[in-house]
């Protein structure tokens, strides 16, 4: 592609791309992000390539990033009608091509919920109740082809921004009310302004894509599916702040995101959207991709900066904030992936448009990863202020297995568990904090009666004690002690006074830790004690785990009424703990049982129960 | 097995002397960070060895000991956890005869856990040699490992 030297050339390129594409032509968009691939989307792509050989003039395929509806993967959306087919197998592909050419619908491949079929994306409950301003373009874009982004108006916001003064751009972002999507929720416009005001010629931009919260993957999906939206946001930020170098710090665990964003940067450079004299202007801007090395603490901005500098990722005291003294001691603006992805839209559609979405203090939409024990799992983009109930039941479709949903965990390891009674809470920064959790990066993990809240608290304490960098004592030692106490409780060795000790420890760690990791680490434990004290008492007083999770407190038994004596459990038991003659009810020798639960996994008759 | 040594000069130039990406390339090449290479890195970057060692031991994705031919990674993210990921680690550990984080003596297998792969909707997730497997159960993990073992044994027979 020839290098562009002005926005007029970009506009004519866009026109050319649009003209070369027939809007009525059928395009089959195949969702193929990391989780789609894990579910076999690569085979679906291959099958489509073969199936369309003879009808290439009538339909084409587009391999895209994730469409967000993870439990429907592998899935396709057929444009222009936007017909959605779910959970595909390679055998389905020729049938889809045939039906599409005839203008027919395949009923058993469409989404059905409560015995009702939904053919088009706009009708499907999972999508209908969302507002996909950032994620909505994913199905339209092959992330390895910059033309697709340009075709949907990509880099138009950059053009518009260049017609504004840098101060005006910052003002626009400030007026929109955009707040950081990485967790802390700092005003983005204000951050930019502070960085812009710093003295000196050298300033940096960093995109924090070290999405470390287990259970959150919207940043991965954006970088995989629409990397140019993030790059465009960074360019606008760099232009308004006066930075010439940018860095995207991506988790090493996201190979596809690294690949796609690297390709996107190369293509943007080729077109002259990055590099020296961007679009023929006196503005130089380049972006480097740097891979993380597997440290959760790198989500903290000063730790991330140390990591780029080649040091141990240990946070430091703030102030000075990175906006004043960041990478290599220079003023540095750090925003999260989703924050940058919001920027082009705000410039394009205006601050008012953005500020009209959401609540008084939390504007715009937010992407959540809705996972766990919910029917429709996936990436969900909703306006701020929507209630948890709407997200879990209207978008998520409620329980995945008919069991009672009892809580939702938000905010990752720094967040907390919110009980069902509070599901009418609006989702915004303040409400979640008030309830003892946080917005965080947007993980929403739905839990049902099979989830033990003490075990979850222990899980997060264990995670955080392992990820603590070790610099400050309250975090390093305190979380470790909390974990040990929780481990005792889950092993039936807990004492009633442990609860008070946990609360005391938690409050000290929150008050005295150096960085965000320690300051929020006790949230999970404290919120679970606050809302699920009865579960703690069951473990401590009755030595029972009501959810049947904590190994030392449970016992596997075989229901002799249901057991058919098929012998499958006996053959699979790694501890030779199951006895019984063929076609006779079996039983478990408790002394030998290692409580691995494999018997329960393999039993076809539901005869193995946990007591 | 003789290791093909990598071109460290080139690697350092490619990464402008940034330590973490350099170590990542070394890790990828050798599947661990050999001591002599770390010494060379310290030398070439004019850094005290203790600083290089400090970084090498800080991050999870670096290892100072060689890893096995097959890398089995079990995701322990929250969504995977509540769907029973810990039971998969136990099953894999029993089947392989090593604990999570260890490499088997014959250097055929390494069992690892990871905090989150971001494939939360299809969890529990297991990655074997870069291939992702969703909705895992302990029996499925055992079957997967057994097939890898069989593959290894067949390869052994062919060599003999």
How far apart CA B64 and CA A432 sit, in angstroms, is 42
Per residue in A507-529, pLDDT tens?
A: 999 999 999 999 999 999 999 99
Put simply, the chain B residues between 83 and 142 with a CB less than 8 A from any chain A CB are 83-84, 87, 90-91, 94, 114-123, 125, 130, 132-134, 137-139, 142
Q: Is A426 exposed, middle or buried (0-12, 13-18, 19+ CB in 10 A)?
A: middle
Instruction: Write out chain A residues lying below 8 Å of B41, CB-based.
Output: none
Q: Assign domain B70-159 one CATH number from 3.40.30.10, 3.40.47.10, 3.40.50.10300, 3.40.1440.10.
A: 3.40.30.10
State pTM to two decimals: 0.94
Verify whether the Cβ–Cβ distance A73 to B18 is below 8 Å: no
Are residues B20 and A445, on separate chains, in Cβ contact within 8 Å? no
The residue ranges of every structural domain in chain B are 8-58, 70-159
* Tens of pLDDT, residues A31-50: 999 989 988 999 999 999 99
- Nearest residue of A to residue B60, measured between CA atoms: A294
Q: Which of residues 27-46 of B touch A (CB under 8 A)?
A: none
Q: What is the DSSP letter of A120?
A: B
pLDDT, tens digit (0-9, with 9 covering 90-100), for B7-63: 999 999 999 999 999 999 999 999 899 999 999 999 999 999 999 999 999 998 899
pLDDT at A212: 87
Question: What average pLDDT is seen over chain A?
Answer: 96
**Structure confidence at residue A444 as a pLDDT band (50, 70, 90):** very high
pLDDT tens track for A107-153: 999 999 889 999 999 999 999 999 999 999 999 999 999 999 999 99
Cis peptide before A320 (omega within 30 of 0): yes
The CA distance from A591 to the nearest CA of chain B, in Å, is 18
Preferred mutation among B82, B89, B125, B141 to probe A, highest tally of A CBs within 10 A: B82
More confident residue, A22 or A558: A558
Mean per-residue pLDDT, A187-213: 96
Average pLDDT (A52-79) is 95
Q: What percent of chain A has pLDDT over 90?
A: 93
B119 pLDDT band (50/70/90 cuts)? Answer: confident
Helices (H), B33-102: 35-45, 49-58, 78-82, 85-96
Q: Which of A481, A177, A200 is nearest to A357 (CA)?
A: A177
pLDDT of res. A50: 96
Question: How many C-beta atoms lie closer than 10 Å to residue A469's C-beta?
Answer: 23
- A294/B20 CB distance under 8 A: no
Domains of chain A in start order, with CATH, are 18-140 (3.40.30.10), 154-353 (3.40.50.11540), 365-448 (3.10.20.600), 453-540 (1.20.1440.230), 555-610 (3.30.70.20)
Residue B115 carries which DSSP code? Answer: S
Q: Which of A312, A369, A451 sits opposite B82 (nearest CB)?
A: A451
Among A215, A248, A255, A373, most B C-beta atoms within 10 A, so best to mutate, is A215
- Chain B partners of A449 at a C-beta cutoff of 8 Å? none
Question: Taking each helix axis from N to C terminus, what angle separates A337-349 and A166-176, rounded to the nearest 10 degrees?
Answer: 100
For A141, the 3-state DSSP assignment is coil
Query: Residue B155 — very low, low, confident or very high, per pLDDT cuts 50/70/90?
Result: confident
Q: Which two tokens stand for residue B36?
A: 């002599």
- Residue B58 near chain A (CB below 8 Å): yes
Whether B160 has a pLDDT exceeding 80, the answer reads: no
In the block, residue with structure tokens 């965000």: A516
How far apart (Å, rounded) are the C-alpha atoms in residues A56 and B7? 46
Residue B3: predicted pLDDT? 60
Token pair listed for A573:
């038991």
Contacts of B97 in chain A (CB under 8 A): none
CB-facing half-sphere around the CA of A519: CA atoms within 13 A: 12
Is residue B107 within 8 A of residue B72, CB to CB? The reply is: no
Chain A residues in contact with B59 (beta carbon < 8 A): 292-295, 313
- Spatial separation of the C-alpha atoms in residues A306 and B105, rounded to whole Å: 36
Q: Is pLDDT at B2 greater than 90 in this prediction?
A: no
Q: Return the number of other C-beta atoms located less than 10 Å from residue A10's C-beta.
A: 21
* Residue A23 CB neighbour total at 10 angstroms: 8
- pLDDT of res. A184: 81
Does the bond joining A274 to the residue before it have cis omega, within 30 degrees of 0? no
Cβ contacts of A15-19, under 8 Å, gap ≥ 24:
A17/A147, A17/A150, A17/A151, A18/A151
State pLDDT tens for residues A262-306.
999 999 999 999 999 999 999 999 999 999 988 999 999 999 999
Smallest CA-to-CA distance from A143 within A216, A24, A230, A269 is with A230
pLDDT in tens, A535-584: 999 999 999 999 999 999 999 999 999 999 999 999 999 999 999 999 99
pLDDT at residue B11, as a whole number: 95
Q: Which single residue is written with the structure tokens 């009633």? A: A496
What ipTM does the predicted assembly reach?
0.90
Inspect the interface and report whether the beta carbons of B77 and A215 lie closer than 8 Å: yes
Select from A293, A313, A459 the Cβ nearest to the Cβ of B62.
Answer: A293
């Amino acid at each position: 592609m020839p290098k562009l030297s002005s926005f007029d050339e970009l506009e004519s390129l866009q026109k050319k791309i649009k003209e070369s594409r027939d809007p009525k032509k059928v395009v089959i968009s195949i969702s193929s992000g990391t989780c789609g691939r894990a579910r076999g989307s690569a085979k679906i792509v291959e099958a489509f390539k073969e199936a369309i050989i003879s009808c290439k003039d009538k339909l084409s395929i587009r391999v895209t990033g994730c469409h967000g509806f993870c439990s429907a993967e592998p899935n396709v959306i057929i444009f222009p009608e936007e017909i959605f087919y779910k959970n595909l197998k390679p055998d389905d592909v020729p049938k889809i091509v045939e039906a599409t050419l005839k203008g027919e619908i395949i009923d058993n491949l469409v989404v059905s919920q409560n015995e009702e079929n939904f053919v088009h994306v706009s009708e499907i409950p999972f999508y209908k109740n969302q507002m996909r301003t950032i994620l909505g373009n994913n199905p339209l874009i092959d992330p390895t082809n910059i033309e697709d982004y340009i075709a949907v108006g990509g880099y138009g916001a950059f053009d518009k921004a260049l017609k504004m003064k840098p101060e005006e751009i910052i003002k626009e972002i400030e007026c929109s009310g955009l707040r950081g999507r990485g967790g802390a929720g700092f005003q983005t416009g204000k951050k930019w302004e502070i960085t812009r005001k710093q003295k000196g010629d050298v300033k940096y931009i960093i995109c924090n894509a070290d999405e470390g919260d287990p259970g959150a993957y919207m940043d991965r999906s954006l970088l995989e599916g629409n990397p140019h939206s993030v790059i465009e946001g960074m360019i606008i930020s760099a232009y308004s702040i006066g930075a010439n170098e940018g860095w995207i710090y991506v988790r090493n665990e996201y190979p596809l995101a690294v690949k796609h964003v690297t390709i996107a940067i190369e293509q943007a450079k080729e077109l002259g959207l990055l590099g020296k004299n961007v679009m023929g202007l006196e503005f130089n801007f380049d972006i480097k991709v740097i891979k993380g090395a597997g440290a959760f603490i790198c989500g903290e901005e000063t730790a991330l900066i140390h990591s780029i500098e080649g040091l141990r990722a240990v946070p430091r005291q703030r102030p000075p904030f990175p906006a004043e003294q960041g990478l290599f001691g220079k003023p540095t603006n750090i925003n999260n992936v989703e924050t940058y992805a919001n920027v082009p839209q705000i410039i394009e559609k205006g601050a008012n448009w953005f500020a009209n979405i959401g609540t008084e203090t939390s504007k715009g939409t937010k992407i959540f990863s809705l996972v766990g024990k919910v029917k429709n799992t996936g990436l969900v983009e909703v306006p701020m202020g929507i209630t948890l109930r709407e997200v879990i039941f209207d978008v998520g479709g409620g329980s995945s297995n008919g069991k009672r949903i009892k809580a939702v965990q938000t905010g990752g390891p720094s967040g907390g568990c919110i009980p069902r009674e509070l599901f009418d809470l609006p989702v915004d920064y303040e409400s979640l904090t008030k309830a003892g959790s946080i917005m965080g990066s947007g993980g929403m993990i739905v839990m049902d009666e099979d989830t033990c809240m003490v075990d979850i608290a222990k899980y997060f304490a264990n995670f955080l004690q392992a990820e603590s960098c070790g610099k400050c004592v309250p975090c390093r030692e305190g979380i470790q002690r909390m974990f040990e106490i929780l481990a005792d409780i889950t092993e039936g060795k807990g004492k009633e006074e442990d609860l008070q000790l946990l609360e005391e420890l938690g409050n000290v760690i929150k008050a005295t830790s150096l960085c965000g990791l320690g300051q929020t680490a006790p949230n999970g434990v404290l919120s679970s004690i606050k809302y699920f004290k009865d579960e703690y008492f069951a473990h401590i007083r009755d030595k029972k785990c009501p959810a049947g999770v904590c190994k030392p407190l449970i016992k596997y038994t075989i229901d002799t009424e249901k057991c058919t004596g098929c012998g499958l459990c006996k053959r699979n038991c790694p501890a030779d703990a199951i006895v019984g003659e063929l076609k006779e009810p079996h039983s478990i020798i408790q002394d030998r049982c290692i409580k691995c639960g494999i018997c329960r996994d393999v039993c076809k008759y539901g005869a193995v129960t946990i007591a | 097995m003789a290791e093909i040594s990598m071109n460290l000069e080139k690697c350092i130039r490619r990464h402008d002397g940034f330590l973490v990406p350099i170590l990542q390339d070394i890790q990828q090449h050798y599947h661990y960070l050999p001591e002599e290479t770390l010494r060379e890195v310290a030398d070439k970057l004019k850094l005290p060895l203790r600083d290089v060692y400090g970084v090498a031991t800080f991050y999870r994705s670096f290892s100072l000991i060689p890893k096995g031919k097959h890398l089995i990674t079990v995701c322990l993210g929250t969504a995977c956890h509540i769907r029973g990921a810990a039971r998969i680690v136990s099953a894999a550990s029993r089947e392989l005869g090593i604990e999570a984080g260890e490499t088997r003596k014959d250097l055929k297998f390494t069992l690892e856990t990871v905090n989150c792969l971001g494939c939360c909707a299809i969890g529990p997730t297991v990655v074997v040699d870069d291939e992702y497997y969703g909705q895992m159960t302990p029996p499925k993990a055992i079957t997967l490992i057994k097939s890898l073992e069989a593959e290894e044994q067949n390869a052994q027979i062919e060599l003999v």
